[in-house]
Structure 1
Amino acid sequence: MSSYATEQPSRAEVDAMPGLTVVEFGANWCGICKAAQPAINEALRDAQHLRHLKVEDASGRPLGRSFGIKLWPTLVFMRDGLEVGRVVRPGSAADIRRELEQAAAAKH
């Protein structure tokens, strides 16, 4: 499992990212986050042209607050800087894949 990055982009930087992006919020010490990694990795493994940011979240972290993150892990799916879906505490790779497919097809 790759770690959640303590250094994080600003909301403006995330909003400016072209294409399909998933921002995964969690914490390295979070047991639920660790347990969700196999499903997340399986769902995103073959996703071509997908930017995957793993961002450490905590009280007072501005990026997580800007997205209204309350539970970990939360995956926010974005297309060309707009949120087009999210999965909170994913139960399976299928849950994530379904949201990813919808995000990939999203028009704005």
Structure 2
Amino acid sequence: MAMNDTYTDQAPSRAEVDALQGATVIEFGTGWCGHCSAAQRHIASAFAGHPDLRHLKIEDGPGRKLGRSFKVKLWPTLIFMKDGEEIERLVRPTDAEPIRQAMDRIDP
């Protein structure tokens, strides 16, 4: 897998996410969010060191069940998961290094 470039409005269910094996990064945001756009180069830089890491890029907003189940309030929010368990969370990252460090924790 590689970094996804586009937010999808086709979110999996929380049960499907919780059942995922291995390492996964879930990115919640929208294409029109300025904070989300600003974070993309940092996220891409971090993914360069983890090209096989699963990346779910989910469009979020009012009434979106998956984002609500993770209690997402601000965009972008990155959830770092290992075998269906949340290991770390970053909200509005402004640098690639914390993203890399979180990826290293779930995908050594």
Q: By the TM > 0.5 criterion, same fold? A: yes
- Aligned equivalents of 2:48 and 2:28: distance in 1? 18
TM-score normalised to structure 1 length: 0.91
Q: Hey, what does 2:82 align to over in structure 1?
A: 79
RMSD: 1.3
- Aligned equivalents of 1:2 and 1:51: distance in 2? 13
Q: 2:9 aligns with which of 6, 10, 18?
A: 6
Q: Deviations over 1:50-101 (max 9, x none)?
A: 1000000001100000000011001000000000111110111101011111
Say if 1:20 and 1:49, in contact at 8 Å, map to a contact too: no
Q: Hey, what does 2:71 align to over in structure 1?
A: 68
Say if 2:27 and 2:76, in contact at 8 Å, map to a contact too: yes
Say if 2:50 and 2:107, in contact at 8 Å, map to a contact too: no
Deviation at 1:42, TM superposition (A): 0.5
- Write the letter of the residue equivalent to 2:58: V
Residues 18-37 of structure 1 aligned to structure 2 (within 5 Å): 18-37=21-40
TM-score normalised to structure 2 length: 0.91
Q: Hey, what does 2:103 align to over in structure 1?
A: 100
- Residue segments in structure 1 that go unaligned for 5+ positions in a row: none
- Aligned equivalents of 1:32 and 1:78: distance in 2? 22
Q: 1:90 aligns with which of 89, 93, 107?
A: 93
Say if 1:5 and 1:55, in contact at 8 Å, map to a contact too: yes
Q: How many pairs does the alignment contain?
A: 105
- Residue segments in structure 2 that go unaligned for 5+ positions in a row: none
Say if 2:43 and 2:96, in contact at 8 Å, map to a contact too: yes
- Write the letter of the residue equivalent to 2:83: D
2:45 paired with 1:38: no
The worse-fitting range, judged by mean Cα deviation, of 94-103 and 54-63 is 94-103
